[in-house]
Amino acid sequence: MQDYTKKTFKIYFKHLKKHPKSFLLVVSSIVLASAGGIVIPIFYKDFFNILAGAGDVESKLPGMIHMILMVLLFNVITWVFWRITTFAAGYFQTQSMVSINNSSFEYLHKHSVSFFNNDFTGALVKRVNRFTRAFDGIMEAFYWTFLPAIVSIVFIVIVLWQSNMWMSIGVIVWVVVFSFINYHLSLYKLKHDIKRSEADSKITGFLADTITNNANIKLFSGYKREVKTFAKLNEELRSLRFFSWKLTGVFDAVQALLMILLEFGMLYFAIKLWQRGVLTIGDFFLIQAYVLAIFNRVWNFGRVIRYVYEQIAEAKEMTEILEKPHEIKDARNAKDLQISQAKIELKDVNFSYRRTRRVIKNLNLSIKPKEKLALVGVSGSGKSTLVNLLLRNYDLESGNILIDDQKISCVKQESIWKNIALVNQDPILFHRTLKENIKYGNPGATDAEVVKAAKQAHCHGFISQFSESYQTFVGERGVKLSGGERQRVAIARAILKNAPILILDEATSSLDSDSEQLIQGALANLMKDKTVMVIAHRLSTIRQMDRIVVLDEGQIIEQGTHDELLKKSKGVYKNLWEKQVGGFIK
């Protein structure tokens, strides 16, 4: 855990350095304000010494008024520096939190598809938010507790040293013992705080998963099971929270006992020094004021150590993500993909998921410029895997994929995605307006171009029926639209993108027969002058493809046109065709 503590602070420090002037202003203001607060009791000491000293009221009055004016002056100075601290800290905190949030967002989204497949969306969202809040909490603790405590104690030790060396040494020893005990108790508590944070993330992930699958819970009568599981997870979190609460109670009791001992020891020693004529009445006030100041600072100091470690525990999960290297990286000196013909070649391609089961085996495939190629095969034959490899969502185990003779592993990933449009079988839309979702394919498109694309994709009709038309919000993941409507919006988005390479992964699977007939015309327009790769289980949708490639266990076993493949007496494609067409007729 200490390793992740260092890594967390390293990340935070990197963002802290982006605003050095505001940070230094905060620190210097806190030092001066805290020092001013320690100087003030010295004037009160002199005030009481004048009050208790020899002489009449008239002779004492000027000195007493002078001391009160000095107290007023230093209070005003202290007030000014605390106000500077407040405004400077507000500027620094907000700037740094924006920077942390932005960098977390940027780094998170550069992780691979497999990374997101292995984590709950809700849990990832909570990790990012907690990481930023943890920075805010740690800096707040540093500003208002940790730094003022150190400055105050240092100045108190210096002032007491001038009065009596042993009283100063006593404070130093007490602070060291106090800090040592708090530090080790906080480390003991930290491992339980980490478990609590993990349990909290687990609950968030479970909650997000059940909300996403609320329909399945109803359809499969899983309500009671899910409620029971959620209650069990909450009970685990409650137990960890209660244990942490008990530990905090123990820490506070130890702190209070140490404070009682310090106050008794300081006053007892002060009485002995007073008997010897070393201390004055004013010194008693000074000692008591400083003891109370130490109590105020170190009581919070003990709490802040535990609080900081709690925040580190909160940040740990996001630190793991930020420290985790990106699985798919651009090569050094990678250049943008340059498309001239949109020719695609796969040479001796091998790929396995988690190195356990070989999905693609020594596959060689060449797709000519503007060729319309269909991939056919049973589930698990490697069709979607080939699409993911072409998009470089995964890196190859061996072999090469080239687009216009450029290895995709040697060009920038962003430039690959820019030149490929994908319409898949379950398109996911942003919880934004229909216009924004369609325009996502080409952010610079005009409203007229958006409408034109929508008409070509045959979704302008149903969009026009909404009261807010293109300004209608589609809901999270596009849930307010039917499956067919979502696919037509996704097709409109691809039309607007107008990339030279087009991939259709079951693009008409959610459409009824009438809608599919409309979309086929839109897809024909979309595929013009493009290199196209189509995946379809409904073979009727790929009859007009230039070439059909049949895959089985990651290898090409047949290829040709629809008519050529039907001529093979025992061909796999022919068998699939007869099952889908002839089988239904029978």
Q: How far apart are CA 354 and CA 275, in angstroms?
A: 80
Is CATH 1.10.3210.10 the classification given to domain 2-323?
no
Q: How far apart are CA 383 and CA 376, in angstroms?
A: 7
Q: What is the pTM of this model?
A: 0.66
Residue 341 one-letter amino acid = Q
Q: Which of 75, 85, 68 is nearest to 38 (CA)?
A: 75
What would the DSSP string read from start to end of 126-188?
Answer: HHHHHHHHHHHHHHHHIIIIIHHHHHHHHHHHHHHHHH-HHHHHHHHHHHHHHHHHHHHHHHH
Q: How far apart are CA 261 and CA 141, in angstroms?
A: 26
- Per-residue confidence in pLDDT tens, the chain, 586 aa: 556 677 777 888 888 888 888 888 988 898 888 888 888 777 777 777 677 666 676 777 878 788 788 888 888 998 999 989 888 888 888 888 888 888 888 778 777 776 776 666 666 777 777 788 888 888 888 888 888 888 888 887 787 777 767 777 877 887 788 777 777 777 777 777 777 877 887 887 788 778 777 777 776 677 888 888 889 888 888 888 888 777 777 777 777 787 778 777 777 776 776 666 666 676 666 677 777 777 777 776 767 777 787 787 778 778 777 777 777 787 888 888 888 888 888 888 888 876 666 788 888 888 889 888 888 877 777 788 888 888 888 888 888 888 888 888 888 888 888 888 888 777 778 878 888 888 888 888 888 888 888 888 888 888 888 888 888 887 776 777 777 778 888 888 888 888 888 888 876 665 666 666 767 777 777 788 888 888 877 776 777 788 888 888 888 888 888 888 888 877 888 887 777 765 443 3
Decide: residue 64, CB within 10 A, 0-12 exposed, 13-18 middle, 19+ buried.
Answer: middle
Cα 251 to the center of its chain, rounded Å: 32
Decide: residue 52, CB within 10 A, 0-12 exposed, 13-18 middle, 19+ buried.
Answer: exposed
pLDDT tens for 311-349 read 877 787 787 777 777 777 878 888 888 888 888 888 888
Q: Is 376 helix (H, G, I), strand (E, B) or coil?
A: strand
pLDDT tens for 115-130 read 776 666 666 777 777 7
Q: How far apart are CA 462 and CA 465, in angstroms?
A: 5
For the chain, the structural domain boundaries read: 2-323
Q: In 377-512, which ranges are continuous DSSP H helix?
A: 383-390, 413-418, 434-439, 447-456, 460-465, 483-497
Bridging pattern class, strands 406-407 and 398-403: antiparallel
Q: Is 469 helix (H, G, I), strand (E, B) or coil?
A: helix
